[in-house]
Amino acid sequence: MSFWSGRRVTVTGGAGFLGSFVVENLRRRGCEEIFVPRSTDYDLVEIEAVRRLYAHARPDILFHLAARVGGIGANRSNPGRFFYENLMMGAQLMEEGRRAGVEKFVGIGTICAYPKFTPIPFKEEDLWNGYPEETNAPYGLAKKMLLVQSQAYRQQYGFNSIVLFPVNLYGPGDSFDQDRSHVIPALIRKCLEAVRGGRPSIEVWGDGTATREFLYAEDAAEGVCLAAERYSGSEPVNLGSGWEVGVKDLAQMIARLTGFAGGIVWDASKPNGQPRRRVDTSRAERLFGFRAKTTLEEGLRRTIDWYRLRMP
């Protein structure tokens, strides 16, 4: 708690999914001065808005969690927008943070930055050994530029910035919008709507053979805050749970937990995305003592319960 005492903190994206958990975690740690810029007031793609943010908030530590993000469908429909907006937000926030004398910059990358055929488990040193999976490569590459900038700024300016690479996040507060949601909220919504509507089956993109690793958002927030407190280095760090699950098994688990007993129809004409994902989490545990606590089934139960109370 003494680390955060008296420090001014800004969290871009602090009203969003991961950001809301990070803000809550910071408050539990004794951080009293937290500023959360809203996109209606600060369009972080625009340099003047970024400068206004620093002039107004005067942060000692800035967490950059804001992102233009979505599932496979959203990435396929908006590759240019996802690349440009994520690139500009990150580059401008770090540059203006350096100019403003920010004590520490905490950037969040994405698992999508890894090459399409990265050996399992993904190790941080494999980040540059190939091109990302095509459907979300523009987004992944834009976020990976945070790492390039972070390392370059530490080398030239001595700027203290770190970049973390979380796996797919899920949990209460996630986006369940049909056009933007990732696989877990999309499956939960489809199953619950099918139960309510008495439908005999649901349709899911891909053939179910891909695998994913998921990290409960509350656990991810703990990892982000631990890294801010304990880690000041140029090397990228994975944040993950260490558990890999097949998309087909995931769909069956969500069907069971939601009470959906119908069929699951796989649309193999749609992309699977990256074939496999599981990260090596040893660096995070070694450098700042992070290990995920929430099992996938428990996290899914909490997420389903949260959304069931809010279904439109």
Query: CB neighbours (10 Å) of residue 148?
Result: 13
Q: What does the domain layout of the chain look like in residue ranges?
A: 8-174+214-244+276-293
Question: Cα dihedral sign for 192, 198, 200, 204?
Answer: negative
Taken as a whole, the chain contains a residue count of 312
d(CA 40, CA 46) in angstroms, rounded, equals 12
Instruction: Specify the pLDDT at position 312.
Output: 85
Instruction: Specify the pLDDT at position 1.
Output: 60
Query: CB neighbours (10 Å) of residue 286?
Result: 10
In a 13 Å sphere around the CA of 25, the CA atoms on its Cβ side amount to: 21
pTM for this structure? 0.94
Fold of 8-174+214-244+276-293: Rossmann fold (3.40.50)
Q: Are strands 244-246 and 211-216 parallel, antiparallel or unpaired?
A: antiparallel
| Tokens describing residue 175 | 């986006």
- DSSP class per residue in 126-186: GTTSSPBPGGGHHHHHHHHHHHHHHHHHHHHH---EEEEEE-EEESTT----TTT--HHHH
For residue 143, the Cα-to-chain-centroid distance in whole angstroms is 11
Catalytic residues: 139
Instruction: Specify the pLDDT at position 69.
Output: 80
Amino acid found at 33: E
d(CA 294, CA 298) in angstroms, rounded, equals 6
Instruction: Specify the pLDDT at position 72.
Output: 78
10, β-bridge pairs: 35, 62
- Structural contact between residues 162 and 233, judged by C-beta atoms closer than 8 angstroms: yes
d(CA 184, CA 33) in angstroms, rounded, equals 33
Instruction: Specify the pLDDT at position 110.
Output: 94
Instruction: Specify the pLDDT at position 71.
Output: 76
- Structural contact between residues 139 and 86, judged by C-beta atoms closer than 8 angstroms: yes
From first to last of the 312 residues of the chain, give the pLDDT tens digit: 689 999 999 999 999 999 999 999 999 999 999 999 999 999 999 999 999 999 999 999 999 999 998 777 888 899 999 999 999 999 999 999 999 999 999 999 999 999 999 999 999 999 999 999 998 899 999 999 999 999 999 999 999 999 999 999 999 999 998 877 889 999 999 999 999 999 999 999 899 999 999 999 999 999 999 999 999 999 999 999 999 999 999 999 999 999 999 999 999 998 888 889 999 999 999 999 999 999 999 999 999 999 999 998
